[in-house]
Amino acid sequence: MTAPITLEAHRGRLSLHLGATPMGQDLAVTLSGGDRPHIGAVALSQARASLKGDGSLSATTSVLALLGHKEDDLARALAARLAAALGGAVTVACGIHLEGILPEELAQVPPLVEALTLELLRRVAELR
């Protein structure tokens, strides 16, 4: 079994933690952060042929979100991107909570997740 991958990204008060466990062609991912990490949404994505018909991969994704949580879009996007890039199934459990988060702090989440995603893809490619 391949060892889990652990990554972190920080900007100001915001800290994000990404953990990933390769499972053959598949990947189990956790994305958490802030001052109260939790599970707010879970996404399961499966790679499939793109509907464009150009031979590229896309993904079909299902999401479950807990009442009052807003991580579903983030979990969906991350799971779909990783599944299409890796050609397998990907789960993402996501929960980020930063008490009193400011709009400018919230705006930092997507670029931090992007940096974590690129590093994760690089690391997984090294394992293959």
The CATH number covering residue 54 comes to: 3.30.230.100
- Three-state secondary-structure class, residue 94: strand
Determine the Cα–Cα distance for residues 10 and 46; give it in Å rounded to an integer. 30
Instruction: Give the pair of three-digit tokens for residue 110.
Output: 């997507």
Determine the Cα–Cα distance for residues 92 and 47; give it in Å rounded to an integer. 14
pLDDT along the chain (128 residues), means of 10: 90 97 96 95 96 90 96 97 97 97 95 97 92
pLDDT of residue 1: 60
Question: Domains in the chain: how many in total?
Answer: 1
Please give the residue range of the domain that contains residue 119: 5-127
Please check whether residue 39 is in contact with residue 29, taking contact to mean a CB–CB distance below 8 angstroms: no
The torsion angle over the Cα atoms of residues 97, 98, 102 and 106, rounded to 10 degrees, is: -50
Reported residue count of the chain is 128
pLDDT of residue 100: 95
pLDDT of residue 3: 87
pLDDT of residue 17: 98
pLDDT of residue 29: 98
